[in-house]
Amino acid sequence: MRTLIAGFGWWRRHPGVMAAGLIPAAIVGLALAGALVALGFALPGLLDAVTPFADGWDELWANLLRWLLGIALMGGAIVLAITTFTALTLVVGEPFYDRIWRSVEQDLGGTVPDAPYGIGKSIGDALGLFGKGLLSALCAGLVALVPVVGGITGAVVGALLNGRVIADELSSRGLTARGLDGTRRAALLKANRTRVLGFGVAVHACFLVPGAAIVVMPAAVAGAALLGRHLAGEPTATPATPATPATTIPN
C-alpha cells in the first residue's frame, strides 16, 4: 500500500506527465463500464435463457438458483473487467505510461533501462496476463456459487488472484526493460510474494470504487516502477541533493 501511495507522489513531481496518463484510462474505463452496465440490463433475460430447466421448479428455488448464478456471473465479470482494464490501458496508453515509467527511473537512478521492449512484446505480455485474469475471474465466479458465504468469499478470492495478476501486469514494463524474461520475472515476483500481493490488492481495491480506476492508473504505473526497482534490487529512494558549498566572502 505504501508503494501505491508513493506512486501518487509523482503527481507532485511530474503533474503534466501524470495527467496525460488519465486519457487512455478514461477511454478504456468508459468502454468497460458501458459493457458492465449492458450486462446488468441483459442479465435477467440471460439467466432465464440458460436455466430453462428451472421453469418447472418451485418459484423460491428457481429464483435462488438464478440469483446465485447472477452473483457469480457479475462477480466474475467485475474481476475480469478490472484485469482487462489494466491490460488494455497499458497497451492503448503505452506512450503515456512509458513517460511515467521513465520519469520514475530518471528521478531515482538517472539511467533508464533500455533493453528492447517493442509493441509486440507489450501485446504478448498483455495477452498472456489477460489469460491469467480470465482464469482469476472464472475461479472467483465459481467460488461465488457457494451458498451463503459465496459472495464474500468470491470477492476475497478474486481480490487475491487478481491482485497478483495486476502487480505482474504493471511491473512487467520495468522488469522487461532490464532484460528479464517471463521466467525470471516470475521468480522475482514469487520471491517477493507478500510485497507484490499487497501492492496488487491495493490497486484492485481502488479499482473497485466507481471512477477511481481512471485516477489511480497513473499512480499505479508510477508505483509499479518503484516495485520493479525494488524487485531488481535497485534503490527506490530519491537521491539526496548535494549540499551547496558555502560562499566565502573575502575580507
Backbone angles phi, psi at 126, to 5 degrees: -60, -40
Give the three cell numbers for residue 67: 440469483
pLDDT tens column, 75-124: 778 878 887 888 888 888 888 999 999 999 998 876 788 776 666 666 67
The radius of gyration computed from the CA coordinates of the chain, to the nearest angstrom, equals 22
pLDDT at position 249 is: 36
Any domain includes 219: yes
Q: What is the mean pLDDT of residues 137-149?
A: 73
12, 229 contact by CB (below 8 A): no
pLDDT at residue 18, as a whole number: 94
Residue 247 maps to a domain: no
Tens of pLDDT, residue by residue over 156-199, are 887 888 888 889 888 888 888 888 877 888 899 999 999 999 99
pLDDT bin (cut points 50, 70, 90) of residue 239 is low
Query: Within a 10 A sphere around the Cβ of 32, how many other Cβ atoms?
Result: 20
- Model pLDDT for residues 49-73, shown as the tens digit of each residue: 888 887 778 888 888 888 888 887 8
Q: Which three cell numbers stand for residue 9?
A: 507522489
pLDDT in tens, 197-234: 999 999 989 988 888 889 999 999 999 999 999 998 88
Q: Is there a domain that residue 158 lies in? A: yes
Could you tell me if 99 and 20 are in contact, meaning their C-beta atoms sit under 8 angstroms apart?
Answer: yes
The boundaries of the domain holding residue 85 are 2-231
Instruction: Tell me if 123 is assigned to some domain.
Output: yes
In percent, the amount of the chain with pLDDT more than 90 equals 29
pLDDT for res 122: 64
Q: Which residue, among 193, 188, 191, 206, has the nearest Cα to 1 in the 3D structure?
A: 206
Per-residue pLDDT, 66:
85
Q: Read out DSSP for 39-105?
A: HHHHHHHHHHHH-GGGGGS-HHHHHHHHHHHHHHHHHHHHHHHHHHHHHHHHHHTHHHHHHHHHHHH
- Could you tell me which of 195, 201, 203 has the C-alpha nearest to residue 220? 203
pLDDT at residue 241 in the model: 40
The predicted pLDDT at position 65 comes to: 83
Longest dimension (CA), the chain: 104
CA distance 168 to 185: 8
Instruction: Report if residue 39 sits inside a domain.
Output: yes
Half-sphere exposure of 75 (CA within 13 A, CB side): 26
Chain segment 27-54, per-residue pLDDT in tens:
999 999 999 999 889 888 888 888 888 7
What distance in Å separates the CA atoms of residue 103 and residue 238, rounded to the nearest whole number? 12
Number of H helices, E strands in the chain: 11, 0
Domain count, the chain: 1
* % of the chain with per-residue pLDDT over 70: 86
d(CA 117, CA 173): 8
Q: DSSP string of 199-219?
A: HHHHHHHHHHSTTHHHHHHHH
Cα(177)–Cα(109) distance, integer angstroms: 14
Q: What is the pTM of this model?
A: 0.78
In this predicted structure, the answer to whether residue 248 has a pLDDT above a threshold of 50 is: no
What is the pLDDT, as a whole number, of residue 118? 61
Residue 242 falls inside a structural domain: no
The C-alpha angle 73, 76, 82, rounded to 5 degrees, equals 135
User: Is residue 250 situated within a structural domain?
Assistant: no
pLDDT of 148 reads: 65
Rounded distance between C-alpha atoms, residue 170 and residue 166, angstroms:
6
Residue 237 falls inside a structural domain? no
Residue 221 near residue 7 (C-beta atoms within 8 A): yes
